[in-house]
Amino acid sequence: MQEPRSFIHGLSSSDVSNYRALTAEYEKYCREQIAKHFMASKFNFKKCQCCGYCCMCYPCMPRPDEIPPVAKYLAISLKELIDRYMVADTADCQTFFLRWAKEGQEDITGARIPPRRTYDKGYCIFFDKEKKGCRIHPARPDEAKIIKCWDDRQSRDKKLWGMSAWTQDDIYRFLPDFSKEYFRNSGDTRI
């Protein structure tokens, strides 16, 4: 499984320790969720049981080229997809990428996620809890296909992560007005 992303810079030591506490709490939450999900790995199954654990704790992330096909699949515009279902996030404040929001994050979609909200709990906005499945399954990113809880050899390879495919300019292809102030060394350390 992938590690939670880190995305803070220029913070005071107390802010850093607050974020460490949030990270520890999130990791604890994910450990607790293992007991509540029918994960293939717990039963030595080699086939996904669609339990939703990874869609909760480690949602897949799309490459830039994987976003338009999802809009097409949902028969909505790219702007509508981003405004309703995506947030801009970063691992280093140098490159930003778009990822699926989580359930409950509908109030912050279409923009940079406030860093503290990256610790929000809940399933990916596209996970159907009743049917136990992905609402965009045919158009889901490759990262979703490589995540296998019973075999994490591929998912540990950062080259295969959707976020690794993003360059610094890509965010402007999707959010032309994205603020340059968000980038490292801009002087902005808002949290």
Residues that bind ligand SF4 (CB under 6 A): 39-40, 48-55, 59-60, 100, 124, 126-127, 134, 136, 140, 144, 147-149
CB of 15 to ligand SF4, least distance (A): 29
Closer to ligand SF4 at the Cβ: 40 or 171?
A: 40
Six-digit token pair at 181? 């102030």
Six-digit token pair at 98? 């778009």
Closer to ligand SF4 at the Cβ: 155 or 183?
A: 155
Closer to ligand SF4 at the Cβ: 58 or 183?
A: 58
Closer to ligand SF4 at the Cβ: 121 or 184?
A: 121
Burial code of 88-111, b = ≥16 C-beta within 10 A, e = fewer?
bbbbebebbbbbbbbeebeebbbe
CB of 168 to ligand SF4, least distance (A): 24
CB of 21 to ligand SF4, least distance (A): 26
Pairing of strands 127-128, 133-134: antiparallel
CB of 186 to ligand SF4, least distance (A): 30
CB of 136 to ligand SF4, least distance (A): 6
The Cα 136–Cα 76 span in angstroms is 13
Q: Which residues contact 8 (CB under 8 A, 6 or more apart)?
A: 15, 16, 19, 93, 115, 191
Is the separation of the CB atoms in 139 and 73 below 8 Å? yes
Virtual torsion, Cα 77, 81, 84, 89, nearest 10 deg = -140
Closer to ligand SF4 at the Cβ: 19 or 85?
A: 85
Closer to ligand SF4 at the Cβ: 112 or 140?
A: 140
Is the separation of the CB atoms in 74 and 137 below 8 Å? no
CB of 32 to ligand SF4, least distance (A): 14
